[in-house]
Amino acid sequence: MTRVAAHAPATEARLPEGDDKQRAVEAMFDRIAPRYDRLNRIISLGQDRRWRRHTVAALRLAPGATVLDLGCGTGDLCDVVAAAGYFATGVDFSAGMLAAAHTRAPLARADALALPVPDASADGVVSGFALRNFVDLDRFFRECARVLRPGGRLATLETAEPAGPVLRAGHHIWFGRVVPFLGATLANDAEAYEYLPRSTAYLPPPGDLLALVEAAGFASVERRTFTAGAVQLITGTRR
């Protein structure tokens, strides 16, 4: 089973892995849940709503389809799923996030790597900025494939790094310096908002990420980027 290793610079504290990562991530999201939505709007400059609409549009499912939102947080993406005419169910392992949720969609506290969902029972799976918080991406994508019916769709939204040097430098300043400052100032949690930019080190390069999705049982795997390459959308169809 493939695990994605963290590659933090030697001058920084190492990122947690395995069970330590799961405990740290759960505790962090429990802690920041009450201010999470507000900070998302500010950090993304209001673009997060547009990214979620693109994610749900990429499903291309029939009205009434059942869609799981894995790592649903407070339910923003669930609401977009429901607005598109699908039946959304949110799953998250952070009790704090679920307690702060505002969606009317049904929610369940569970590990996205071991879903309490029957095989081939969902039409779609989405996730929003959750990939880097899972302990094992290979296992995550295989679990998505397990719960999806043949022909079902996967759409996962995540951060990325712009290709051009100028845009990449600006992205590093915003994500690596401004975001932690905003987190410390507005959420009174410098530790969490220092971790979030650093956690991109958990993500493999785009080609390797697409290969993981394909190996898990998906065809027509594609990658799109938004906002000058700062965000990526990975989609695929269950074979």
pLDDT confidence of residue 5: 38
d(Cα 91, Cα 68) in Å, to the nearest integer? 7
Q: How far apart are CA 68 and CA 106, in angstroms?
A: 10
| Confidence at residue 9, expressed as pLDDT on a 0 to 100 scale | 38
Residue pLDDT, tens place only, 182-213: 999 988 898 999 998 899 999 999 999 999 99
Looking at residue 69, its pLDDT comes to 98
pLDDT average, residue stretch 116-143: 98
Delimit the domains of the chain by residue range. 19-162+194-238
Please identify which residue in the block is written with the tokens 């071991």. 114
- Ramachandran angles phi, psi of 95, nearest 5°: -65, -35
Mean pLDDT of all residues in 58-66: 98
Helix (H) or strand (E) holding 152: strand 148-159
Say how far apart CA 192 and CA 197 lie, in whole Å: 9
Tokens of 102: 């505002």
Inform me whether the pLDDT recorded for 233 exceeds 60. Answer: yes
Judged on CB neighbours under 10 Å (0-12, 13-18, 19+), 154 is buried
- Other Cβ atoms within 10 Å of 224 Cβ, number: 13
Within 13 Å of residue 184, how many CA atoms lie on the same side as its CB? 10
pLDDT band with cut points at 50, 70 and 90 for residue 13: low
| Cα-Cα end-to-end distance for the chain | 20
Q: How many CB atoms lie within 10 A of CB 188?
A: 11
What is each CA distance from 156 to 53, 124, 125, 192, 228, in whole angstroms?
12, 11, 8, 22, 18
When mean pLDDT is compared across 75-84, 89-98, 100-109, 156-165, the lowest value belongs to: 156-165
Superfamily the domain 19-162+194-238 falls into:
Vaccinia Virus protein VP39 (3.40.50.150)
Q: What does the alpha-carbon distance between residue 239 and residue 216 come to, in Å, rounded to a whole number?
A: 10
Per-residue pLDDT band at 59 (split at 50, 70, 90): very high
